[in-house]
Amino acid sequence: MSEVFVGIDLGGTNIKIGLFDSQVKLISKTAVATEADMGPEVVIDKMAQTVEELLTGEGMSARDITAIGIGTPGPAKYSEGIIIKSTNMPKFKNVPICRMLNEKLGAPVVFDNDANVACWGEYAVGAGKGVKNMVFFTLGTGIGGGIINNGELVHGCDENAAELGHIIIYPDGRECNCGQRGCVEAYASADSTARRAQEALEAGSESSLKKVLDQTGTITSKDVYEHLAAGDKLAREITDGTAKALAITCINMLHVTEPKRIVFAGGMIAAGDVLLNRIQDFFDEHIWTLKAEPVEICFATLGEDAGIIGAAALAQHAHQQGKLK
């Protein structure tokens, strides 16, 4: 086999690993528990061993690897290959993960944050295929982001660009986990969507969601979309609040980096067309009329494997660009 890329998605709970061919098609994959409390030496050792096992299963060895890509949440000095610290992996402090993995497997390693990696995956082989300018949002507990400008990820002066969840759309609005007020994340993440519904119920709004809150003590964004499908009025209002916040953010991104396509990923896209259509409605309502060519707004297509696919695709890109050390 001419080229083999390894994609690694390092999370606090699991490490997902995939082997990919020269076209970033999956050859095989696996997942192992991170066991982050064992410390970086043990975790990275296990990571390397798992890669070798996958390779052995395909009749290959570490010598066949063209390049390895890894994604993990920050803060990190990605370009230097160092995890500075990690919320989910407290023992990971100033870990030179790229060098350590390179020493074990012998192949060059590229490294970026999890949102950028997923963004690159969609760009290279998913919903962003065929464009050169893309914006990417992950709608989960928070809202993460990624930006492709002219075929390259935008990293910013200190590798903290594309923190798109913290674009302020309602100055002095709802408090965000980041300490700011009015961030899009404070309205439109899965958590914020659920929280706004719960607050409305607690303030006395009538809704079929009241029963869920009474029975379970909490509301999830999934509950909101289920009750929306059943015709609940509050669920509709909450969804509209989410969709409008995302639409305004899309408009702002159009005016900043002018993407050809905007891709939403993350748990909340399970809501389906009912969410996507409302984002498009609010976008059409609030956008200027000056630009002829409309931006395409769509959902991600890579699903749960986005992390390993994106990491492998990033490794492939670095290889193609001759950027590997």
Binding site for a second copy (CB under 8 A): 131-133, 147, 149-150, 154-164, 166-171, 176, 178-181, 244, 248, 251-253, 255-260, 286-291, 293
Residue closer to a second copy (CB basis): 91 or 132: 132
Task: At 317, list the tokens.
Answer: 């890109």
Residue closer to a second copy (CB basis): 129 or 291: 291
The DSSP bridge partners found for residue 164 are none
CB of 174 to a second copy, least distance (A): 13
CB of 75 to a second copy, least distance (A): 9
CB of 260 to a second copy, least distance (A): 4
Residue closer to a second copy (CB basis): 273 or 293: 293
CB of 249 to a second copy, least distance (A): 9
- Spatial neighbors of 74 by CB under 8 A, at least 6 apart, are 84, 113, 159, 160
**Cα-based angle 246, 248, 253 (whole degrees, multiple of 5):** 90
Q: Using CB atoms within 10 A of its CB, is residue 139 exposed (0-12), middle (13-18) or buried (19+)?
A: buried
127 DSSP assignment:
T
CB of 49 to a second copy, least distance (A): 35
CB of 234 to a second copy, least distance (A): 21
d(CA 32, CA 303): 19
Residue closer to a second copy (CB basis): 26 or 131: 131
CB of 184 to a second copy, least distance (A): 10
Q: How far is CA 244 from the centre of its chain?
A: 21
**CB count in 10 Å sphere of residue 78:** 22
Residue closer to a second copy (CB basis): 19 or 139: 139
Residue closer to a second copy (CB basis): 149 or 301: 149
d(CA 289, CA 293): 10
Residue closer to a second copy (CB basis): 39 or 173: 173
| Most distant pair of Cα atoms in the chain: their distance | 64
Residue closer to a second copy (CB basis): 44 or 148: 148
CB of 256 to a second copy, least distance (A): 5
d(CA 121, CA 115): 10
d(CA 82, CA 78): 6
- DSSP class per residue in 25-66: -EEEEEEEE--GGG-HHHHHHHHHHHHHHHHHHTT--GGG--
Q: 3-state DSSP: the chain helix, strand, coil percent, rounded to 5?
A: 45, 20, 35
